[in-house]
Structure 1
Amino acid sequence: MFRNILIPTDGSPLATLALDAGIAFAKEAGAKIAVLTVTEPFHLFSTDTEQLASTREDYEALARQHAGEILAAAVVKSERAGVPCETDHARSHEVYRAIIKKADDIGADLIIMASHGRGGVGALVLGSVAAKVLTHSTIPVLIYRKK
């Protein structure tokens, strides 16, 4: 049923668990995966501590390095499981749109992603990438939540 799965990840512990679960799911389904990480561009006015302590060049270099580490780890895991894997690093002010665009571009028939489960004011202020993907995607989305 599912043959081409997109797994977006930010490298967080929960997203890593979702990646592991997605690889296991793909193996069972005989599917291939694409792993995507999205970096928000440097903002001159930001509350992100990484951006506050960095110049634009430093931030971009660290973002590329971090994305490379996340994607390299995903390739190792998928190879161990025998699951075909491609990777991509995108930059976007709207992470959810980058995820949906990538899913459309590769013809994904499923998106598997983590939800950090923020509630209350945190969800209102920060929003939820997972909720936005669920709301705007026409592709089925499987959400991995912490138990």
Structure 2
Amino acid sequence: MFKRILLPTDGSELSLKAIRLGVDLAKTCGASVIALHAIPPVQTIAYMAEIMASVEFDYAKEAAHFAERYLEEARAIAEQAGVPFERVLLFGHQPHQAIMQTATERECDLIVMAAHGWQGLARLLMGSETHKVILKSPVPVLVCH
């Protein structure tokens, strides 16, 4: 049924729940999984460019540290289930764009993701990445609540 399942992660508990569901589904179908974490660009304002240069470096370093942890958690879940695993880490991409790009490039036939990661004001300001993926995905999307 499915051969390659994409598992985007933002490190949230709900995201880990979606990874577990995707890995279980992959095991049942004999599929492989690809865990993805996208690090969005630092939002800068033109007149603050000089100040933001040092902030951007620190941001990238810390974001990469967290991303490695999130992808390692996904790898451990897949390994424990005996499911073939790949990982993708993309810098400078909006998450929904990275998800759709990876699904296309890696020929995924399903995306399993959390209903939302951010809460409150952050979600209001940034929008729902899941909603954007649902609207534009080239493949079916299974949303985990």
Following TM superposition, by how much is the alpha carbon of 1:41 offset from its aligned partner in structure 2, in angstroms?
A: 1.4
Secondary structure of the corresponding residue to residue 5 of structure 2: strand
Secondary structure of the corresponding residue to residue 76 of structure 2: helix
Following TM superposition, by how much is the alpha carbon of 1:126 offset from its aligned partner in structure 2, in angstroms?
A: 3.2
Secondary structure of the corresponding residue to residue 44 of structure 1: coil
Counterparts of 1:9-88 in structure 2, within 5 Å, are 9-45=9-45, 55-88=55-88
CA distance in structure 1 between the aligned counterparts of 2:101 and 2:85, rounded to whole angstroms:
18
Please tell me the root mean square deviation across aligned C-alpha atoms, in Å. 2.3
TM-score (norm 1): 0.84
Secondary structure of the corresponding residue to residue 108 of structure 2: coil
Following TM superposition, by how much is the alpha carbon of 1:131 offset from its aligned partner in structure 2, in angstroms?
A: 0.8
Instruction: Indicate the percent of aligned positions where both proteins have the same amino acid.
Output: 37
More helix by share: 2
Determine whether 1:97 maps to 2:101.
Answer: no
Secondary structure of the corresponding residue to residue 113 of structure 1: strand
Q: 1:76 to 1:56 in 2, by over 3 A?
A: same
CA distance in structure 2 between the aligned counterparts of 1:57 and 1:64, rounded to whole angstroms:
11
CA distance in structure 1 between the aligned counterparts of 2:23 and 2:61, rounded to whole angstroms:
28
Secondary structure of the corresponding residue to residue 83 of structure 1: coil
8 Å contact kept, 1:92–1:98: no
CA distance in structure 2 between the aligned counterparts of 1:32 and 1:38, rounded to whole angstroms:
20
Secondary structure of the corresponding residue to residue 36 of structure 2: strand
The one-letter code matched in structure 2 to 1:141 is V
Which runs of 4 or more aligned residues in structure 1 lie more than 3 Å from their structure 2 counterparts after TM superposition?
A: 121-126
Determine whether 1:110 maps to 2:110.
Answer: yes
TM-score (norm 2): 0.85
Structure 1: runs of 5 or more not aligned: 46-51
Determine whether 1:136 maps to 2:136.
Answer: yes
Following TM superposition, by how much is the alpha carbon of 1:105 offset from its aligned partner in structure 2, in angstroms?
A: 0.4
